[in-house]
């Protein structure tokens, strides 16, 4: 979708253009090796965010370097593209490791004839400069389960086998109605599509409120991929989805259990320390000129509310089970704290 257009049909997401699997033993497509890959993301993108959270929870920061693009996309060849700029720490507008200005260059290095869209996250092979995968869900799952000895000691089991069916079932509902539902509402081509989409968004939020009133996490007694998939949408809800995407029946902060659950995760290492609210607000309000032609960026809401006590520990469970919290955020990856 072009940055300055609203789609004339209901939004649908294309399957990943490149989806090589990375595993510890290389039995599928590629082998997990420290220093071999660079993860290109934008901190505004919820799909990239779940991979960033997984990478941090699993302690893969030293194994897989991180490249952050500018929240303002650049129009190249008539299409919006994720690019590196001086403002986001890339001297000369080039990523210091890959030497590229736009992520599309890694796509074209992999396939010179590629004409499809470019999305984040993108896992790039450092030596060849080729894109390995832009399959956000598979990237996160593989980092959680397939990277073997490269993960940190004490890393949590985000995808425990006994709970996988439930995790995936919950994730499918959340994706359909909420993760993607907010986009279906925001880019609805007419009233009928908007009403259906926004109705599904709040039906799902209502169901999550009921579910989380009696349990600390979505599935089981610890953080799992179900929580990793939900959190990026929740943390963007009041800043951009409520106003910018017209999902304004209620705010997240008006759901007692869901808002406390979101704060609990935000205050858990690996979640809130990967959130950059300025990038989120700037990207959505700047790029989507079809629904915000003035590019005026909303100021609120006050992010300090995310640090308020949540009292969720009384429901039982611990975030990492028998594991431990990840260590400090690497110096080059720290995001501003709510202030």
Where is the binding site, in residues? 82
Would strands 37-41 and 64-68 be described as parallel, antiparallel, or unpaired? parallel
Residues 6+ apart with CB under 8 A from 146: 21, 22, 23, 24, 32
Q: Classify strands 30-31 and 22-23 as parallel, antiparallel or unpaired.
A: parallel
- Say how many C-beta atoms besides its own lie within 10 A of residue 279's C-beta: 21
In eight-state DSSP terms, residue 274 is: G
Q: Active-site positions?
A: 45, 183
Helix, strand, coil distribution of the chain in percent, nearest 5 = 40, 10, 50
CA distance 205 to 203: 6
Binding annotation for glutathione: 82
Angle (nearest 5°) at CA 188 between 195 and 236: 90
Dist CA 50 CA 45 (whole Å): 9
């Amino acid at each position: 979708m072009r940055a300055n257009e609203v789609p004339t049909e209901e939004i649908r997401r294309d399957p990943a253009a490149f989806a090589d699997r990375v595993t510890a033993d290389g039995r599928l497509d590629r082998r997990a090796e420290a220093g071999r890959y660079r993860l290109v993301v934008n901190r505004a993108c919820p799909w990239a965010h779940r991979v960033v959270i997984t990478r941090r929870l699993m302690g893969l920061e030293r194994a897989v370097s991180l490249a952050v693009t500018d929240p303002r996309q650049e129009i190249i060849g008539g299409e919006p593209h994720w690019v590196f700029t001086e403002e986001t720490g890339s001297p000369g507008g080039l990523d210091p490791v890959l030497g590229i200005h736009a992520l599309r260059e890694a796509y074209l290095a992999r396939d010179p004839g590629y004409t499809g869209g470019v999305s984040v996250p993108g896992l790039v092979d450092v030596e060849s400069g080729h894109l390995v995968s832009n399959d956000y869900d598979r990237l996160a799952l593989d980092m959680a389960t397939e990277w073997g000895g490269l993960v940190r000691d004490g890393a949590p089991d985000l995808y425990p086998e006994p709970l996988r069916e439930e995790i995936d079932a919950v994730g499918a509902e959340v994706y359909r109605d909420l993760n993607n539902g907010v986009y279906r509402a925001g880019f609805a081509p007419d009233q009928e599509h908007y009403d259906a989409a926004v109705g599904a968004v709040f039906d799902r939020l209502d169901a999550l409120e009921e579910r989380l009133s009696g349990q600390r996490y979505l599935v089981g007694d610890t953080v799992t991929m179900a929580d990793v998939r939900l959190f990026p949408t929740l943390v963007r809800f009041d800043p951009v989805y409520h106003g910018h995407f017209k999902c304004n029946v209620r705010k997240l902060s008006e759901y007692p259990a869901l808002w406390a659950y979101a704060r609990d995760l935000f205050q858990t290492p690996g979640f809130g320390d990967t959130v950059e609210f300025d990038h989120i607000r700037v990207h959505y309000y700047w790029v989507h000129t079809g629904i915000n032609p003035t590019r005026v960026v909303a100021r609120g809401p006050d992010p300090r509310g995310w640090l308020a006590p949540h009292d969720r520990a009384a429901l039982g469970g611990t975030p990492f089970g028998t594991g431990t919290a990840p260590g400090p955020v690497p110096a080059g990856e720290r995001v501003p704290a709510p202030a």
